[in-house]
Amino acid sequence: MIGNDIVDISLAKKQSDWQRRGFLDKIFTCAEQEQIASAINPFQMVWTMWSMKESTYKVLIQKGYKRFNNPRKLECALDSLYKGGVSAFDEQFITSTQQHSDYIFTTAKLLAHSKTSTQSKVFSLDVDPSDLRSKAAYQELKQYLTLLKGWNLDSLKVKKTIRGVPQIFYNNTYLEIPLSLTHHGKFGAFSITVN
């Protein structure tokens, strides 16, 4: 299982006033708020932790947890802006974050699966409206898999389960390839566990 999340920095600056009263209290624990307050770049820290929480949330949903709307249940700890961990429901996750001038991208997996090999790709999305961005992200994943595995593009499908978890099908056969897709603003990404 793997989760991921991407934040388009310019869109986050436009859409969210993270400094407004009560915003941090709804999303971050007291310890996390202390890290944000002491960070050299608090804006970057807010969205790094947000992407850590979102990517971990996706793993929890894949594991069968019920959907919930309380980001404070996931507590971040950072070794650096690039490596960290999240604790949730007595489970431990590791995260890896890419900091870019235009985006923040994080992947998460269970600590017990820390040695599993994953591959990720971040790409630009120059399409509107947002429902087309999802289709474009699926297409990027499918093209990647055709190159990686030598599969026929037309025989690949990406479908979501009732829980919203994406799954890959080849010739209408479900392939047990753990994956996560994300998009925000002008950027999309996917992460897969490869064997």
Contact between residue 56 and residue 74 where contact means Cβ atoms under 8 Å apart:
yes
Query: 195 falls in which pLDDT band (50, 70, 90)?
Result: low
Read off the pTM.
0.92
Centre a 10 Å sphere on the Cβ of residue 35 and count the other Cβ atoms it contains. 18
End-to-end CA distance of the chain: 13
Centre a 10 Å sphere on the Cβ of residue 21 and count the other Cβ atoms it contains. 7
The pLDDT tens digits for 88-127 are 999 999 999 999 999 999 999 998 887 888 999 999 988 7
For residue 138, give Cα distances in angstroms to 35, 55, 144: 35, 18, 10
